[in-house]
């Protein structure tokens, strides 16, 4: 398999982080210890967004290593969502009946400090060989229950347009597939890579969706908007995934600004992820109850277009489930008690007819 595009422009080493003014010289040894455990890379686009004078800058918090990453909470796991448990062969994760992950490689343009695959991604991560990629594609073709393939990794848009086009073409030729989805940070962290050639490589007969990872409204830059315009212009629908992160976006005003900025450029907020139990990430995880209150604060006060589903990927590979607040509760007499957006409860009558027409 051809090598993904070079990432040489990124700031990678502790010395480079110090030279860029992102880390104080007195912390270089601390950062070196983190870098021995987890990969480090920050693109120039993200470096330019960081306010080094702000000790709690939300962009820096996402990408600049911190000694807290070396602290492991008892509940944290090396494989928090069970990728390995559901990987029948290299490059494939088959957790749900109708969907499968295809991971061509494990390189990323940036390495998020909260990443749930932080034990796998990085320059040492293995890319699929031609034979291994062929076996993965054969697996997908041989399972007629599969309807959707999600290209992830690593960031699939680091592949060369030629290599990416070959994968999309192979998936497009599998009759039982309906959707090809691509998970990427590229339009946000390295938007210049979203060239006309790369966009053309994604066009297929099947529906191709691109899900963009964005966590803070400052990430929606002019270049990011232009990258999204190129993708939208080719007829590719755009979704967004956001991770709820303490000290980054755990305020209603921040999420409101982010989701509105995304919708304004035709990116539909899809998932708001509660952080996974990845090793060394406890300092990013808000309490689940706090997350539910935050999501509740958005309902009715922000357009429905700006409302992602708040989800938790259960540890051990048991799947992704919605964990947002419920406004409905069944009363003792069978009636429903529905709480409005101001917290007032209203009675709603039960039905005597079940779905399908049979009496209850």
Q: Return the SS3 of 73.
A: coil
Residues classed as catalytic: 95-96, 99, 108, 112, 115, 117, 276, 313, 320
- Paired with 271 in beta bridges are 241, 309
Backbone angles phi, psi at 88, to 5 degrees: -70, -20
Q: Return the SS3 of 148.
A: strand
Which pair of tokens denotes residue 254? 């921040």
What residues contact 108, with CB distance under 8 A and at least 6 apart? 39, 41, 121, 122, 153, 154, 155, 158, 185
Cis peptide before 154 (omega within 30 of 0): yes
At residue 38's C-alpha, the angle toward residues 281 and 246, to 5°, is 25
DSSP 256: H
């Amino acid at each position: 398999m051809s090598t993904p595009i070079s990432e040489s422009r990124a700031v990678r080493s502790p010395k480079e982080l110090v030279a860029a003014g992102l880390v104080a010289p007195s912390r270089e040894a601390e950062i070196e210890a983190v870098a021995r455990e987890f990969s480090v890379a920050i693109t120039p686009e993200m470096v330019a967004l960081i306010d080094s004078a702000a000790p709690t800058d939300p962009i820096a918090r996402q990408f600049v290593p911190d000694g807290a990453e070396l602290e492991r909470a008892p509940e944290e796991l090396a494989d928090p969502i069970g990728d390995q448990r559901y990987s029948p062969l290299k490059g494939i994760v088959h957790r749900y009946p109708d969907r499968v992950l295809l991971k061509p490689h494990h390189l990323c343009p940036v390495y998020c400090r909260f990443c749930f695959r932080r034990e796998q991604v990085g320059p040492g991560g293995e890319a699929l060989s031609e034979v291994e990629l062929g076996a993965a594609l054969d697996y997908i073709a041989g399972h007629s229950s599969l309807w959707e393939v999600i290209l992830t990794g690593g960031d699939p848009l680091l592949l060369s347009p030629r290599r990416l086009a070959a994968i999309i073409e192979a998936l497009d030729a599998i009759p039982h597939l309906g959707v090809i989805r691509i998970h990427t940070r590229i339009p946000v962290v390295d938007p210049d890579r979203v060239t006309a050639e790369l966009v053309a490589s994604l066009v297929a007969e099947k529906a191709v969706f691109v899900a963009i990872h964005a966590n803070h409204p400052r990430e929606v830059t002019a270049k990011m908007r232009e990258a999204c315009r190129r993708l939208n212009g080719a007829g590719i629908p755009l979704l967004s995934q956001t991770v709820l992160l303490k000290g980054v976006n755990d305020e209603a005003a921040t999420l409101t600004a982010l989701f509105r900025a995304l919708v304004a450029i035709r990116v539909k907020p899809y998932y708001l992820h509660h952080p996974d139990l990845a090793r060394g990430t406890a300092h990013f995880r808000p309490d689940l109850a706090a997350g539910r209150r935050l999501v509740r604060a958005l309902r009715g006060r922000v357009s429905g277009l700006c409302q992602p589903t708040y989800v938790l990927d259960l540890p051990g590979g048991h799947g992704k489930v919605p964990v947002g607040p419920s406004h409905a509760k069944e009363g003792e007499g069978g009636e429903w008690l529905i709480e409005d957006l101001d917290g007032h409860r209203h009675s709603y009558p039960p039905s005597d007819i079940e779905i399908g027409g049979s009496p209850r």
